[in-house]
Amino acid sequence: MSSSDFRCRVAVLGATGLVGRTMIKVLEERNFPVSDIVPLASSRSAGQVITFKGREFIIREPSKEAFEGVDIALFSAGAKASREWAQVAASEGAIVIDNSSAFRMDTDVPLVVPEVNPGDIFKGDGTPEPIIANPNCSTIQMVVVLKPLHDRFGLKRVVVSTYQSVTGKGKVGRDALESELAGEKQDEFTHFHQIAFNAVPQIDVFTDNGYTKEEMKMVNETRKIMGDDAISISPTTVRIPVYGGHGESLNIELERDFDIDELRELLRISPGIILQDDPSARIYPMPLTSYERDEVFVGRIRRDYWHPRTVNMWIVADNLRKGAATNAVQIAEVVAARW
């Protein structure tokens, strides 16, 4: 078969969710070589139909049979479903790319952002690992920016504050904001407090050290992806009532001093980054302008004059795309390129 004839059967577990729907859209937009889509979701959605390139596919519940003949399985149905179905799909021969937190910190599962560590996808013999984890959305956009800085200047410490979209919490997160804005009900459960007109400095539950699970994901996942346990990350994660993407304010202390123009140019030419940095023209990244885009947008780059070798910047990415679906499809592209 010539490489142009090559087509994969792709299962999407969580096909009706915010990430799963975006995965199907991104597969179509990027012209991933798909023969069939196998859309899977809960019993609530079984029997409904999704459309891919004008063809209709019926949504089923996951089962061993559903994964038969599947080449790539994109999972975005939460950690419980991933734990239940990842080994089943892998035993049927599928390469599983998992968006949940189920396997991210397992030592035998690579945690991959293609701009940073694409080589981790493959075993020593050159075949792909059976299960590959997609990092947390807040981690992905940060490491795309940290990687070139680490390679050129060495990373010492990062202080990061996030401004995260309600869509990061899936359909219930989006619906909570919409119903509050419509005055239908005040939902104090989904985001721990009312989210409309508010900012909540808690995402996920607190751990014993005073940081939330979301914050500790940013610490541990960053070290694993960058392959460097010496990097210090000090995060505060905040939910805000926006759609479109997550913003992050980064204060980055480097090992070696830098020229600010050289650093800006380095980011401009690095993969997956779009520089939007002209404050005099009010040009800087925002969730609204990053919405439906696949890149990480970087702006407000300025030296920290009160701390040596330290730079501040503001970054935004669409959490449903680069923070989840696009990153997973990019991993699939790296896998498929070797088939």
Ligand X SMILES: NC(=O)c1ccc[n+]([C@@H]2O[C@H](COP(=O)([O-])OP(=O)(O)OC[C@H]3O[C@@H](n4cnc5c(N)ncnc54)[C@H](OP(=O)(O)O)[C@@H]3O)[C@@H](O)[C@H]2O)c1
Strands 246-254 and 310-317: antiparallel
Q: Is 18 in the site for ligand X (CB under 6 A)?
A: yes
Q: What is the DSSP string of 239-281?
A: B-S-SS-EEEEEEEEESS---HHHHHHHHHHSTTEEE--BGGG
When the beta carbons of 76 and 162 are compared against ligand X, the nearer one is 76
DSSP designation for 68:
T
Contact with ligand X (CB under 6 A): which of 10, 17, 27, 86?
Answer: 17
Token pair of 326, please?
């696009």
Rg of the Cα trace of the chain?
A: 20
Q: Which region, judged by CB under 6 A, interacts with ligand X, from 27-35, 260-268, 274-282, 316-324?
A: 316-324
**Shortest distance in whole angstroms from residue 83 CB to ligand X:** 11
**Shortest distance in whole angstroms from residue 132 CB to ligand X:** 14
Residue 287 burial by Cβ neighbours in a 10 Å radius (0-12, 13-18, 19+) = buried
**Shortest distance in whole angstroms from residue 90 CB to ligand X:** 17
**Shortest distance in whole angstroms from residue 91 CB to ligand X:** 18
Show the DSSP H helices in 134-259 as ranges: 137-153, 170-181, 213-226
The question of whether 137 is a catalytic residue gets the answer yes
Contact with ligand X (CB under 6 A): which of 137, 143, 155, 159?
Answer: 137
Phi first, then psi: give them for residue 119, nearest 5 degrees. Answer: -65, -25
Site string for ligand X, 153-172 (x = CB under 6 A): --------------xx-xx-
Annotated catalytic residue: which of 8, 193, 246, 307?
246
When the beta carbons of 69 and 78 are compared against ligand X, the nearer one is 78
Q: Is 14 in the site for ligand X (CB under 6 A)?
A: yes
Q: Is 109 in the site for ligand X (CB under 6 A)?
A: no
The residues, any chain, with a CB within 8 Å of residue 319's CB and separated by 6 or more, are: 137, 138, 141, 164, 165, 167, 168, 245, 246
The question of whether 8 is a catalytic residue gets the answer no
Site string for ligand X, 41-80 (x = CB under 6 A): xx-xx----------------x-------------xxx--
Number of residues that bind ligand X (CB under 6 A): 27
Q: Is 81 in the site for ligand X (CB under 6 A)?
A: yes
Q: What is the DSSP string of 73-119?
A: EEE-S-HHHHHHHHHHHHHTTPEEEE-SSSSTT-TTS-B--TTT-GG
Q: Which region, judged by CB under 6 A, interacts with ligand X, from 15-23, 115-123, 254-262, 291-299?
A: 15-23
Contact with ligand X (CB under 6 A): which of 11, 16, 109, 315?
Answer: 16
CA-CA distance, 168 to 244, in Å (whole number)? 10
When the beta carbons of 270 and 319 are compared against ligand X, the nearer one is 319
Answer for the pair 314, 249: CB distance below 8 angstroms, yes or no.
Answer: yes
Cα–Cα distances in angstroms (integers) from residue 75 to residues 86, 96, 278, in the given order: 8, 7, 39
Q: Which region, judged by CB under 6 A, interacts with ligand X, from 38-46, 63-71, 193-201, 291-299?
A: 38-46
**Shortest distance in whole angstroms from residue 327 CB to ligand X:** 8
**Shortest distance in whole angstroms from residue 190 CB to ligand X:** 11
What is the three-class DSSP state of 17? coil
Residue 55 burial by Cβ neighbours in a 10 Å radius (0-12, 13-18, 19+) = exposed
CA-CA distance, 136 to 166, in Å (whole number)? 15
Annotated catalytic residue: which of 8, 137, 150, 191?
137
**Shortest distance in whole angstroms from residue 34 CB to ligand X:** 19
So which residues are the catalytic ones?
A: 137, 246
In the complex, the residues that contact ligand X under the rule CB under 6 A are: 14-20, 41-42, 44-45, 62, 76-78, 81, 99-100, 137, 167-168, 170-171, 319-320, 323-324
